[in-house]
Amino acid sequence: SNPALNAYMQLMSDSLNAVTYHAWWPGSSDPMYQHNIQQNRDRIQFMKGNVNATPWLNVDGVIVDVWPFTSGNLSGAYNTRMAVSSPLGLEVNNRRISNDSIEVRVKAFLLSDLPQGTWKLRVYAVEHPIDYTAAPGSNGEKHFPHVFRKSVPNSSGDLFPTTAGNYEFIYRYKVETAWKDSNISSIAVVQDDLTKEVANTGSSNIA
């Protein structure tokens, strides 16, 4: 199933952001899960619905378990969310501040008040792609796109303002030795902890 999903993500890469969390099943020895066990678990357990299979596609936190990965199902989920206007724009910029550290500036442009909720801003370090010469698991897969590496500042995120206005947030994180730093981007997500709905996302590659 993954090749069909990966091909669709690549096709629509100019208008969506993807994050792939690696789980403790079917094999807890998955090196991308083992790299950041707690935060992978935090994000999977946060998601709405009973995530009990892999692969599992959750779109904007509110379209849960898109399956199977046919063109019609994927396009249907995409079009459903694109039809919902967002009052929020996000601009994400990275810069290297030392040999092993990245500073992320997130500019948020909130044109109107957000609905009531507990809105959070989270920043993810994502590595895309990770390719292995030998498959790390028993299913033969060697290509892994949009791999979640770290939540910044933590899994909970920071409270995001709900009143219209322009805001800026600054975060810093270390580039870890297991990462290929030229493949790392930062993705900012504004999401309601109550409904799980994502208002918008933004992404930037390292400059």
Smallest Cα–Cα separation from 176: which of 63, 36, 67? 36
The token duo for 55 is 């692969």
pTM of the shown model: 0.95
Predicted confidence at residue 48, as pLDDT, reads 72
DSSP string, 163-201: SSEEEEEEEEEEPPTTS-GGGEEEEEEEEETTT--EEEE
Question: Across the chain, what does the average pLDDT equal?
Answer: 95
Percent of the chain with pLDDT over 90: 90
Q: Judge whether 206 and 133 are in contact, CB under 8 Å.
A: no
pLDDT digit string (tens) for 158-207? 999 999 999 999 999 999 999 999 999 999 999 999 999 999 999 997 64
The C-alpha atoms of residue 40 and residue 151 are separated, in whole angstroms, by 9
What tens digit of pLDDT does each residue of 33-88 get? 999 999 999 999 998 777 888 899 999 999 999 999 999 999 999 999 999 999 99
User: Which of 122, 137, 134, 104 is CA-nearest to residue 32?
Assistant: 137
